[in-house]
Amino acid sequence: MDPHDAQRVALLSIKPEYAAAIFAGRKTVEFRRSRLATDVQIAIVYATQPIGRVIGWFRVRGIAESTPDGLWRRYRGDGAIRRRDYFAYFDGAERAYAIEISKPTTLEVPVLLDEVVRGLRAPQSFQYLPARVARPILSEPSTPPARRLSLRPAFG
């Protein structure tokens, strides 16, 4: 599927160390406590503070659902997360979701959320955006996925 054909995309807030791992190819699944809608095929990555920018996007290859223990057994080597941090995140959750990442693409120039949509704020976990809003991001020049992403804090 061409990313420009999508009806809506997901905007995911991801801590900078995990976002960097996605674009370095070390993280091939993103764990969540809530499931993405099945029609979402593109996820835009917002690296949380101190970066505070949209830094790239990836295709959603699939979504796995299980208990936190079940997902850990299946994906522990793919999530670029320590066991203790994983289980702290899922503490009290009965269900867990793994978004399988495909074709991560880093933007050449990271973008402020306000440049995507005036007044847009970072979601706690994720939110949906109309694809028309995301098309400029998906059309931005990008760097090859093998290039190591350098995440520096955004000031101003």
pLDDT at 135: 86
User: Backbone phi, then psi, for 70, in 5-degree steps?
Assistant: -65, -45
Rounded Cα distance between 29 and 60, Å, is 9
Cα 40–42–47 angle (5° rounding)? Answer: 120
Tell me whether residue 7 is in a domain. Answer: yes
Tell me whether residue 153 is in a domain. Answer: no
Tell me whether residue 150 is in a domain. Answer: no
pLDDT at 137: 87
Report which secondary-structure segment, H or E, holds 18. helix 16-23
pLDDT at 13: 98
Domain count, the chain: 1
Tell me whether residue 151 is in a domain. Answer: no
Do 125 and 32 form a contact (C-beta atoms < 8 A)?
yes
Tell me whether residue 82 is in a domain. Answer: yes
pLDDT, one tens digit per residue, over 129-146 is 998 888 888 886 665 444
Which residues lie across from 124 on neighbouring strands? Answer: none
Tell me whether residue 22 is in a domain. Answer: yes
Q: pTM (2 decimals)?
A: 0.86
Name the residue range of residue 54's domain.
3-135
Residues of the chain with pLDDT below 50 are 1, 3-4, 144-156
CATH at 26: 2.30.130.30
